[in-house]
Chain A
Amino acid sequence: MFLKVLSISFILTGFFFFTTATIGLLRFPDFFCRLHATGKGDTLAVLLSLIGLAIYHGFCLASLKIISIAVFYFVAQPTATHAIARAALRCGVKPWAKGEERR
């Protein structure tokens, strides 16, 4: 019972971070701001959701593989975000400053 409540709270926290990352992706004014929102929020949300699912499934080989997906994603997603941001910077995209209009 306690483990079930713990896993439900983990999954709900992950869903909250998914929602905030999506709102940031839609509402922020600039490409770099959007990337900042989705890069950090989605990484944390995936980590929390997969830990909650692994706790619900119990201790066996399957939950170990779920944790390994989470660890892989925790390394891979910041790398992909960094690659996109560096490509944008080398392509000459200027960061947004206060007072300019949305792009």
Chain B
Amino acid sequence: MEKFFLGIGIGLCFLVLLCLYRGIFGPTVLNRLAGISAIGTKTLVILLLMGFIYDRVDMFMDISMVYAILNFIGTLAVAKYLETKGEV
């Protein structure tokens, strides 16, 4: 079962690299923000899979929860900033 989790984790890392293309070369700031938000989502699942691989679920689960909250707050803060600024 560890092999299966490892395979899924490597596949998710490959998808993170694909999302990083949109994060770097995205035409505007908003595209970059969408790409970075997608990367944060995948990182959450990768952290939980790491917990299952190393058999330390109780520790990695809290890190994953904090990562979810920080990703949400960061995205919301940048969106609010761009909205009050009024231009991209």
| A residues lining the B interface (CB < 8 Å) | 4, 8, 11, 14-15, 18-19, 21-22, 25-26, 31, 34-35, 38, 42, 45-46, 49-50, 53, 56-57, 62, 65-66, 68-69, 72-73, 76-77, 79-80, 83-84, 86-88, 90-93, 103
B64 CB to nearest A CB, Å: 6
Name 26 A/B residue pairs within 8 A (Cβ), A-sorted: A25-B38, A34-B22, A38-B37, A42-B38, A42-B41, A45-B41, A46-B41, A49-B48, A50-B45, A50-B48, A56-B1, A56-B52, A65-B61, A69-B44, A69-B64, A76-B72, A79-B72, A80-B71, A84-B34, A86-B79, A86-B83, A87-B82, A91-B30, A92-B88, A93-B28, A93-B88
Among residues of B, the one whose C-beta sits closest to the C-beta of A49 is B45
| B residues lining the A interface (CB < 8 Å) | 1, 4, 8, 11-12, 15, 18-19, 21-22, 27-28, 30-31, 33-35, 37-38, 41-42, 44-45, 48-49, 52, 57-58, 61, 64-65, 68-69, 71-72, 75-76, 79-80, 82-83, 85-88
Option from B15, B79, B82, B85 in Cβ contact (under 8 Å) with A18: B15
Option from B28, B61, B75, B88 in Cβ contact (under 8 Å) with A69: B61
| Contact indicator B34/A34 (Cβ below 8 Å) | yes
In the A-B complex, the 8 residue pairs with the smallest Cβ-Cβ separation, listed nearest first, are A83-B79, A87-B83, A76-B72, A80-B75, A87-B79, A42-B41, A87-B82, A22-B15
| Contact indicator A62/B58 (Cβ below 8 Å) | yes
- Report the Cα distance A82→B56, complex, angstroms: 35
Known: A22-B18, A62-B57. 5 other contacts (CB 8 A): A56-B1, A57-B52, A77-B72, A79-B72, A87-B80
Option from B12, B15, B64, B88 in Cβ contact (under 8 Å) with A91: B88
Option from B30, B34, B44, B85 in Cβ contact (under 8 Å) with A73: B44
